[in-house]
Amino acid sequence: MQKAVYWDDRRFLCLVAGRGTGKTTSACMRILGMIQRNEIPTGGRILIIAPDYPQLKDGTLKSFDKWFGPDGADIIEHMVNGNAPFRKLAGNIEVLFRSAMNPDQTRSKECCLVWLDEAAQMDEQMLTLTNANLRQFGNNASYQTIITTTPRGKNWTYRRFGEHLMNSDNDDPMVGAYRTTTMEAYREGVVRSGYIEEIGYTPGSEMWRQELEAEFVSWSGLVFRQGWKKLDIKPALRYVVGGVDVGSISPSCILLVGVDEPGNFYAFKQFYKPKTDTHELAKLIGEWHKEFGVNKWVIDDADLWRNLRNAGLPTAPPNKKHDAAESSINYINSLISRGMFHIDEHECDPLVKEMSTYEYKDKTSGDDVTFLDKVKQNQADHAIDALRYATRVLSAYKSYNTAGWGRIGFGVGRAS
């Protein structure tokens, strides 16, 4: 793997591997080779990011100094440590080390190479932010983002690069993807004798498969099943509900979900934006009410739903009984397992991102009563909440009086 990585100059270079396989060393060798081959121009800047400061200083930075310092290539000319480590290399090449815990530190850092080490522990925004940094030499440079990581469930690294990693014949001109296991590294002499046994993972368990076999497992901690169907053909819908989660500084979300005659659910339209005034939400709700023939709006802001109800829209507050959230999640997972839940992933990208990463706590206290007690705190769940509100209504839509309502198609208003 290291030899192939050393020469791979594709725009994105993704190395996913088990513990102890030399991912960090492979990245260092790639960067060193680029410098030796003059692929990084004089005065070039490299941005290296780790998930947090302890991992940055005790892992990534130490490995870098080992291979580029006096005991390695010996091309480090100046060193600065502290909270913003810096290395100046021969050829006036600058290397900036930053933590993903402070994304703003990546801004205004024009560079020609980015390395995200243990990327699966970072938020996907780090890839987006650093992509914007790759502009140092205009069109006169070959830019590259190196991504090294151990898998962490089916998170954003899986969504972005999983297909390439699972394809041994990957010939994508933009993405170089490599995957190796701890067992392969042991056979090559990279991992010492006894290392695998001493880690203590049960063979075949999720942790064994993820940490040693470098598999993107469907981790048991994920709240949602990951097998929903992509929405390709837009069907006629029998009933449409808009779920609305109102934020302040956090994002507000409007999500439209419909059901067809056989009972398949479709999430097909979404608004997702932070710092949104309620008058903006009210305006958009009114527009979508006419455009998509929405039968019911479930809104978690009391003033907004009352104002819209007074304006003639069918609105209601969400059911927030202690078991309501868990019941809705279980219902959604049941639909997914039966192949009856569809998402327009282009229109509803924030929903996909939230459902792909939303996790239960690693451990429970025994005093966890409600669903919200059982999930990890401070996770993005604005689209998920809107989905729950809409789904709970749709699960019983046949009990509502739907006389006078025709079949509803995408972009078609209610029948009169």
Q: Which domains does the chain have, with CATH numbers?
A: 2-211 (3.40.50.300), 229-399 (3.30.420.280)
Highest mean pLDDT among 152-156, 162-166, 397-401: 162-166
- Per-residue model confidence as pLDDT tens digits over 182-208: 999 999 888 999 999 888 877 887 778
- The pLDDT, as a whole number, for residue 327 is 87
Looking at residue 218, its pLDDT comes to: 60
Mean pLDDT of 153-172: 83
Q: Which residues contact 350 (CB under 8 A, 6 or more apart)?
A: 251, 253, 270, 272, 380, 382, 383
Report the chain's terminal Cα–Cα distance, integer Å: 64
β-pair type (45-50, 76-80): unpaired
Q: What pairing do the DSSP bridges indicate for beta strands 86-89 and 76-80?
A: antiparallel
407 vs 362, more confident: 362
Confidence (pLDDT) at 21:
92
Assess whether pLDDT exceeds 70 at residue 132. yes
Phi-psi region of 412 (alpha: psi -120 to 50; beta: other; left: phi over 0): beta
Asked if 212 and 199 count as a contact pair (C-beta separation under 8 A), the reply is yes
List beta partners, residue 17.
Answer: 180
DSSP letter string, 322-339: TTHHHHHHHHHHHHHHTT
Beta bridge partners of 187: none
Q: Residue 62: is its pLDDT beyond 60?
A: yes
Amino acid present at 187: R
Residue 399: pLDDT band with limits 50, 70, 90: low
pLDDT of residue 414: 36
| Mean pLDDT to the nearest integer, 17-32 | 94
33 exposure class (CB count in 10 Å sphere: 0-12, 13-18, 19+):
middle
Query: What pLDDT, on the 0 to 100 scale, is given for residue 290?
Result: 95
∠ CA(292), CA(348), CA(104), 5° rounding? 135
Higher local confidence (pLDDT), 154 or 163: 163
What pLDDT, on the 0 to 100 scale, is given for residue 89? Answer: 96
Mean pLDDT value of segment 35-42: 93
Cα–Cα distance measured from residue 205 to residue 212, given in angstroms and rounded to the nearest whole number: 10
Split at pLDDT 50, 70, 90, the class of 307 is very high
Dihedral angle over CA of 48, 49, 50, 52, nearest 10: 130
Between CA 387 and CA 114 the distance in angstroms is 36
Q: Nearest Cα to 93, choosing from 113, 63, 117?
A: 113
β strands within 121-238, DSSP E: 144-149, 175-180, 229-230
Whether residue 226 has pLDDT greater than 90 = no
Q: How many CB atoms lie within 10 A of CB 42?
A: 9
* pLDDT value of position 401: 47
Residues 6+ apart with CB under 8 A from 347: 268, 269, 270
Q: Give residue 410's pLDDT.
A: 41
Q: Is the pLDDT of residue 366 over 60?
A: no
Q: Which of 41-50, 71-80, 191-200 has the lowest mean pLDDT?
A: 191-200
Crossing angle for the helix pair 382-394 and 349-357, to the nearest 10 degrees: 100
Query: Looking at residues 31-55, what average pLDDT do you find?
Result: 93
Q: Give the distance, in angstroms, between the CA of residue 334 and the centroid of all CA atoms in the same chain.
A: 23
Q: How far apart are CA 221 and CA 119, in angstroms?
A: 19
401 vs 92: CA distance, rounded Å: 74
Give every CB contact of residue 5 below 8 A, 6+ residues apart in sequence: 13, 15, 26, 27, 29, 30, 176, 178
Query: Could you tell me which residues come within 8 angstroms of residue 138 by beta carbon, excluding any fewer than 6 positions away?
Result: none
| pLDDT attached to residue 405 | 39
